[in-house]
Amino acid sequence: MEIYFLGTNAGVPTLLRNVTSVALRLLEERRCFWMFDCGEGTQHQVLRSPLRLGKLEKLFITHLHGDHIFGLPGLLSSRAYQGGTAPLAVYGPPGLKSFIELSMSVSQSRIPYKLEVVEHTGGLIFEDDQFKVEAALLEHRIDSYGYRVTEKDRPGSLNAELLRSYGLKPGPQYGVLKSGRDVTLEDGTVIKATEVLSAPKKGRIVTVLGDTRPCGNTVPLAHEADLLIHEATFKHELAKMAHEYYHSTTIQAAEAAKEAGARQLILTHFSSRYGPLDELLPLLDEARTVFPNTLLAEEFRLFPVMTD
């Protein structure tokens, strides 16, 4: 499980940074990736990355401001040309479906794969045997949501040496034991799964927030998350401006991570007033005074989601 940033700027693209888009790579877990937001030019960013649109399984939109959705029509219409024939599910606030349908209709674009658009107003929006995704409303000029992705606990590892001592070789019975069920051998010997299987591996939690100023749902969404991705549009000296524009400062993002008990914080959605990396470093230093385990989002860089 890894995070890959495709766009980290707020409002408009610049020569240094594109507008918002974040990929959650799940290559080992699902052989795919999920995307959060799709600002203008996102498909160009994908072309410059190791990601392939054919592997895009789910796309989550935080809110309907242009810097978060203007790349969506182009990406959806060209996905098939990059091998994207598998179904794609897109989740987001009410209005998302009409935006997509109108864009595709007016441009006479054809989508040759199954596209499911799921509009929501928060709550549990997806769950299967591996993951669940929950959403909650934040505080922005329009409805903006944060997403909490929870990986379910995974089975522990089998003790191969102990299994060999029973004369058991890799095969279907390994799968039975891996699922937590006991196995009875031909001689009547019962191999208990609890004796050959280590403790379950705790699933990871990633929280991706849309644009927001400090609000009540931030901390519950990020509660004990292994990674929190939080906007930090301004330095804290511009806290008044941040509040007026419904955005957050570095200190506010760090305070949210600290209160939530998150393990790591990555700042993103930087104002265009901040140029190259050396102008962003003061934002990082500021956040670290409150939450030391903070990083700056960087486009085309992988961030592993760690459990420790």
Domain boundaries, the chain: 2-154+201-304, 160-196
pLDDT digits (tens, 9 = 90+) for 224-251: 999 999 999 999 999 999 999 999 999 9
Per the annotation, the verdict on 278 as an active-site residue is: no
pLDDT at position 308:
66
Query: What CATH architecture applies to the domain 2-154+201-304?
Result: 4-Layer Sandwich (3.60)
pLDDT of residue 298: 97
Bind-site residues: 63, 65, 67-68, 140, 211, 269
Burial class (CB in 10 A: 0-12, 13-18, 19+), 14: middle
* Rounded Cα–Cα distance for residues 94 and 23 (Å): 22
Q: For the whole model, what pTM was predicted?
A: 0.91
pLDDT, position 100: 97
Residues of the chain with pLDDT under 50: none
Q: Which residues of 68-88 are buried (b: 16+ CB within 10 A; e: fewer)?
A: bbbbbbbbbbebbebebeeeb
- Numbered residues of the known binding site for Zn(2+): 63, 65, 67-68, 140, 211, 269
Selecting among 37, 67, 143, 226, the annotated active-site residue is: 67
Per-residue pLDDT, 148: 98
pLDDT at 194: 86
Q: Report pLDDT for 195.
A: 87
What pLDDT, on the 0 to 100 scale, is given for residue 166? Answer: 83
Residue 129 burial by Cβ neighbours in a 10 Å radius (0-12, 13-18, 19+): exposed
